[in-house]
Amino acid sequence: MAKTATDITTAHCQQVAALPWRRDAKGGVSVLLVTSRTNAKWMLPKGWPMPDMSDATAALQEAREEAGIDGAVSPTPIGSYRYMKLFDDGSVKPAQALIYSLHVTQEHSKWNEKNQRQRRWFTPKKAAKAVTEPDLARFLRNLANDGIILA
């Protein structure tokens, strides 16, 4: 049975993330990262699980809001990463995000958080160097090296 964000230990914040990807002209994979609103660090679009929505659909919704993209999301996570979640009040708590593959089919010119974030396509190897979260960087390096199945 597939894990959901609610299955993760309650000692951690539970979030969901999208790994937006597309094939380039040579058949290679590019991944889309967005900057955070608070410190402009590169990351995957992510957010909280949403009531009455599967975790995969919530990850897709976050990608729509944060990156202005649409596509086909995998129903089961392809991985996860741990990080320290910084809250608006300055507090920090351990967190884990389940990662859902999102094959991007459309990029919108306008979206909810366009004025708060940047988005950029990277090779998985360059994405691993761009992110600051060590566990996410490791996931992206593995994607670059092992070619995790995204579809």
Residue 27 lies in a domain: yes
Range of the domain at 60: 9-146
Residue 3 lies in a domain: no
Span of 31-35, 95-99, 124-128, 142-146 with lowest mean pLDDT: 142-146
Residue 107 lies in a domain: yes
Cβ neighbours for 56, distance < 8 A, ≥ 6 positions apart: 16, 73, 74, 75, 76, 77, 100
Residue 140 lies in a domain: yes
Residue 4 lies in a domain: no
Question: Quick count: other Cβ atoms within 10 Å of Cβ 45?
Answer: 27
Query: For 73-121, how does the pLDDT look when each residue is reduced to its tens digit (9 = 90+)?
Result: 999 999 999 998 877 787 888 999 999 999 999 999 999 999 999 999 9
Residue 133 lies in a domain: yes
Residue 2 lies in a domain: no
Residues 38, 4: Cα–Cα separation, whole Å: 27
Cβ neighbours for 29, distance < 8 A, ≥ 6 positions apart: 21, 22, 23, 123, 124, 143, 147, 150
Residue 151 lies in a domain: no
The count of domains in the chain is: 1
Q: State the burial class of residue 100 (Cβ atoms within 10 Å of its Cβ: 0-12, 13-18, 19+).
A: buried
Check pLDDT > 70 for residue 125: yes
Question: Quick count: other Cβ atoms within 10 Å of Cβ 96?
Answer: 19
Q: Which residue has the higher pLDDT, 55 or 37?
A: 55
Say which CATH number the domain at 139 has: 3.90.79.10
Write down the pLDDT at residue 92: 85
Residues 117, 90: Cα–Cα separation, whole Å: 20
Is residue 18 within 8 A of residue 62, CB to CB? The reply is: yes
Question: Quick count: other Cβ atoms within 10 Å of Cβ 129?
Answer: 12
Residues 137, 141: Cα–Cα separation, whole Å: 6
Write down the pLDDT at residue 6: 46
Write down the pLDDT at residue 24: 82
Query: For 134-149, how does the pLDDT look when each residue is reduced to its tens digit (9 = 90+)?
Result: 999 999 998 877 665 5
